[in-house]
Structure 1
């Protein structure tokens, strides 16, 4: 196990951002399940339109992140993507993970928002899930890097709205970090993943701007 402190890069999300992600994910699933137009959706759309107008004037017009050469620029704040991205971005799956050295395990439940075939998870979201969870594992061990390759083998269809478990293993040598993962329903393997990442050098990470006080 690597003894370095957990790898982070970026700032923590706001508490409002975390709550918004959870609600947006849940509401998306409810809207997708509607049988007919509903006035509640009209209310939602009006509220979203009002929020869009209000927020547009409170965030930087330049949507490039304030990282590296742009750290002193006029762009947006960059949130830490090392772990739990789904907690603040509804486009990413949520999961629970426990890291024990070069092994990790956890649980995930994919909501309706990630549906592909009827009642099943879209395969692209499985790739996104494994990429996020494996790099989370790497970052918790203090040694991470850019994904160089990710391959999946779909063994069985993955059901929505079902508590699933996953297991990850990894090894690091030379300039590479190699990880494997399995997603399971009980003892049945649904999907297998292999990832190859290039070791990063923490001392060479670009600067990231902190949040700014807006007067």
Structure 2
């Protein structure tokens, strides 16, 4: 009985002790300092303003006059310092007719996409048995893409499409598979060996995407 009472009393004492770790409401990123694995260092509170918590860029149509006919406008911690340390961020996706965001991954976070205009065919590939999950999404539809998995978005209609995406990280990262393989100086012989493509195909893709070697 004494032991039970002692444990109960000790628990109450622990709960009543003030925490030595200061509770911090937010950590607005100081973009003048380099970003580390845990994000940006916190801006001094005296220098924080309401503008650090507001981002207006997602109301502007992205420039889709490029190779993939798509534009992603990020509101990550580098553009929107108010989300630094909060585990969230957003972006806008514009897809012109025939636009595509090729197979890519976000190593730092999961993604939720909501279509607000047009039709988007979207999907991802699981790491277990390479199962493919894809669907044609219309206005108001939402799809989730688990962290780190290869996924894509394609304009599935005859009009421009717009979507807004949210991430479970203030800096989810981005790696587009095609650009990782063919837009750098990775020697063609290595690309051919690791992708089973022949030399002519690799050279053609490198020429289109600006790679060398």
Question: Larger RCO: Structure 1 or Structure 2 (Cα < 8 Å, ≥ 6 residues apart)?
Answer: 1
TM-score class, shorter: under 0.3
Structure with higher Rg: it is 2
TM-score by length of 1: 0.26
TM-score by length of 2: 0.27
Is the helix fraction higher in 1 or 2?
Answer: 1
